[in-house]
A = this chain, B = another copy of it.
Amino acid sequence: MKSQEKLHGRIEASFNKQPFLTLIGAELDHVENGKVIISCKHKETLTQQQGWLHDGVVTSLADVSCGYAALTTMPVDSEVLTVEFKINLIRPANTNKIIATGQVIKSGKMLVISESTVTDESGETVIAKMLATMIVSHIKR
């Protein structure tokens, strides 16, 4: 329990240092070892021409959920960088809220492979699916 709270605090501290996440209104909903859930509410400023949430918002959320899921499996003095990801945008983000669940597939010393599923507010309808590679880097500052 206590270590769970610690883990949440560690991810939250990093999360809150990212101005872009504040800009889009991303929220950190859940943190456990190897799994992180992030959500984002519909706002007009985040939309594309049809009024749906922009692919860029969906992708950002998925990427961040993969990255923080990876970070939960890394040593405390680590930072995570995205090497690459692939995303299938499966359905339009025509919803009040998107929820990105990032999960670690394999955590290595240098590389972590994560996947993320983005759903609508019901948690049932899949909007996007990501498969990503993250790299561990050590905090120097």
List A residues at the B interface (Cβ < 8 Å).
Answer: 14, 17-24, 44-49, 54-57, 59-60, 63-64, 79, 81-92, 105-106, 110-111, 113, 115, 126, 129-131, 133, 135
Contacts and interface: CB of A to CB of B under 8 A. Distances in A.
A83 B89 contact: yes
Main secondary structure of the interface of A (DSSP, over half): mixed
15 contacts: A18-B47, A20-B57, A21-B54, A56-B57, A56-B60, A81-B92, A83-B133, A84-B89, A85-B87, A88-B133, A90-B105, A110-B110, A111-B135, A115-B129, A129-B131
Nearest to A15: B49
B60 A54 contact: yes
Contacts of A91: 106
